[in-house]
Each structure stands twice: as C-alpha cells, then as structure tokens.
Chains A and B, each alone.
Chain A
C-alpha cells in the first residue's frame, strides 16, 4: 500500500525521533503513528535496518598511506596557495599603480602596463596558475608524481 500524504509528512519526523534528534512536531507524528498500520510497519522496517548496521565495520584495507604522506610532508611547503598567489598578483597591481601615481614616471619606450604584465607573467610561471585546482603538491607535480 502506498503511503498517504500524512504518512509522507510524518515519516521523516518519526525517523529523526528514532535517531534521537529533537523534532518539533513529534507528538503529532506519534499520534498519526498510533492510528496508521502502514507507518507502524515502515518504522519497524527502519528499526530492523538500523539494527543490521550494528555489526558493520569498514572493509579492511591493505593500503598503507603513511610512506606516501611522509614523503610529501617532509618536503618544505614552498608552494604558494592559490589565495596567496591571487593576493600577490593583486598587491603587485596596486603597488604598480601607486608607483605610477607617486612618481609620475614617463615610460616613453614602453606601454605603462607592459612591465606589470611581465611581472605578473613571471610570478604566474614561478608559483603556478592562481586559478588552478590544487590536487597535488606542486613539487610532486614538477616531478611528475
């Protein structure tokens, strides 16, 4: 038999109460339970399923990660995080603009943005793409690990 609308509404509350969670409308849910054989059966099934988990443990693993982790954490963390890289580039832009305003230096041979672009590109090259998703330590990426 398919549960009615009331059943669908109260079952999450009954489940939460069974989990020991505080449920605001639990009295209402319990009242429904006392007169609904479908929900009573459902709750017994849920209790029975919960009981099956008591003996469950995680599958044993033969993988030992320590050696790999140790190799990496012993290396100095010289890499700049993405946030640091973005901050650095931002600071560079502001510093460049401030210098331009403070000294008003004419740079007739170069467009004023060229040295800044070169500095940003150099930083990008040295410390990596600030927008990249970091999935491994840069020093390992360089080693092709």
Chain B
C-alpha cells in the first residue's frame, strides 16, 4: 500500500490503514524527535502525539506532496512543545547503541557522535539535508524560514560539523 492509498483508506474510515504511516515513518520520526528533544521519553511522546495529530488532520494532507515533509511540521511542533515543557534539560544523546544496532559502522558512529554535539537546530538541519536529502526550498517550508536563512544556517552548521569531525580525526 502506498501513502495515497493509505490516506484514502483512512479517510474512508479504515483506522487500521493508518498503521502503514506509523510503521513506515516511525523510525526516522523517532530519530528526528530524539535529535530535537535530546530526551528518549519525550521523543517517543512527541512522535506518538504527532502521529495522532496526523491522523486527525489527514484530510489536510495533499497526497501529491511527500507525507513525511507534511508530517515533519507536526512532529517539529510536538517536539518544541515537549522541549518547552521540559526546559533545556537533555538526558539522552542520539548516538545509536551498539547493542541495539549492531550493524552500525564505526564511521557512522563518528558521524552520529559529531551530530550529537551540535545544537539541536544545527543537528536538525544537517540531518534533513544530508540524510533526508531535502532541498533548500523544502527545508525553508519545513522550518518556516526564508531560503537565504536556510543557506546561512546550513553553512554555519556544516562549519561546526567539519570542525568537530576534524577534531575527532586528530
């Protein structure tokens, strides 16, 4: 089942069809929520809340758009609410644990460690650009900032990441 078919089924009253969205996107949504909240339980809560929001607002999702780009705005709002409730306290990093994810290479771990040391905003930009492969236009829409701001913020975030990675090498 693709996203458009799942959406149609949900709107026709088939609640089970929403499972498609949860199973397909929860992995990356949780990773993004962890990045934004830096708190394992908050990330899970925010992601669950965002899926519930998505279900209740599914009618506003344009099936010609990519589901995750639409969903990400809901997720981001939920993460910020969790963050404002918790204050600046962060309890967990985003680096994958070897025990949970044995397939992860040492090079990947280095990258995740470096991203973990970036601010949540910088980390978000780097991940959305490098792993999601979003364009500046898509980033601009999702983050609600002008394209020029995306470019300058991404430049600064990458500068910091390069510094962190070169520090790890030396």
A interface residues, Cβ below 8 angstroms from B: 11-12, 15-16, 19-21, 45-46, 49-50, 52-53, 55-66, 68-70, 72-74, 77, 133, 135-137
B residues near A65, Cβ cutoff 8 Å: 22, 26, 30, 44, 47-48, 51
Instruction: Determine how close the nearest CB of chain A comes to the CB of B155; give it in whole angstroms.
Output: 4
**Bound form: Cα–Cα A20–B47 in Å:** 31
Contact of A60 among B84, B94, B101 (CB under 8 A): B101
Quick check: B27 and A50 within 8 Å, CB to CB?
no
Quick check: A66 and B23 within 8 Å, CB to CB?
yes
Contact of A58 among B27, B44, B56, B166 (CB under 8 A): B27
**Bound form: Cα–Cα A58–B30 in Å:** 9
| Contacts known (A59-B100, A59-B101, A77-B56); A15 close to B15, Cβ less than 8 A | no
Task: Mark each residue of chain B from 115 to 157: 1 if its CB lies under 8 Å from any CB of chain A, else 0.
Answer: 0000000000000011100011000000000000001101100
B28 at the interface (CB under 8 A from A): yes
B81 at the interface (CB under 8 A from A): yes
Residues from 38 to 97 in B contacting A, C-beta threshold 8 Å: 44-45, 47-49, 51-52, 55-56, 78, 81-82, 84-85, 94-97
Instruction: Determine how close the nearest CB of chain B comes to the CB of A15; give it in whole angstroms.
Output: 6
Quick check: B56 and A16 within 8 Å, CB to CB?
no
**Bound form: Cα–Cα A129–B117 in Å:** 38
Quick check: A49 and B100 within 8 Å, CB to CB?
no
**Bound form: Cα–Cα A19–B125 in Å:** 13
**Bound form: Cα–Cα A66–B45 in Å:** 12
Quick check: A52 and B55 within 8 Å, CB to CB?
no
Contact of A70 among B19, B28, B111 (CB under 8 A): B19
Quick check: A61 and B30 within 8 Å, CB to CB?
yes
Instruction: Determine how close the nearest CB of chain A comes to the CB of B51; give it in whole angstroms.
Output: 5
Quick check: B155 and A56 within 8 Å, CB to CB?
no
B residues near A66, Cβ cutoff 8 Å: 19, 22-23, 26
B residues near A46, Cβ cutoff 8 Å: 158, 162
**Bound form: Cα–Cα A56–B166 in Å:** 18
Q: A19-B135, A52-B111, A59-B95 are in contact. List 12 more A-B contacts (CB 8 A).
A: A15-B151, A52-B107, A56-B112, A58-B31, A59-B31, A59-B97, A59-B112, A65-B44, A69-B48, A70-B19, A135-B78, A136-B45
Quick check: A135 and B135 within 8 Å, CB to CB?
no
Instruction: Determine how close the nearest CB of chain B comes to the CB of A26; give it in whole angstroms.
Output: 13
Quick check: A16 and B136 within 8 Å, CB to CB?
yes
Quick check: B51 and A135 within 8 Å, CB to CB?
no
B residues near A74, Cβ cutoff 8 Å: 15
Closest to B35 in A: A58
**Bound form: Cα–Cα A16–B27 in Å:** 29
B residues near A68, Cβ cutoff 8 Å: 48
Quick check: B55 and A60 within 8 Å, CB to CB?
no
Residues from 1 to 32 in B contacting A, C-beta threshold 8 Å: 15, 18-19, 22-23, 26-28, 30-31
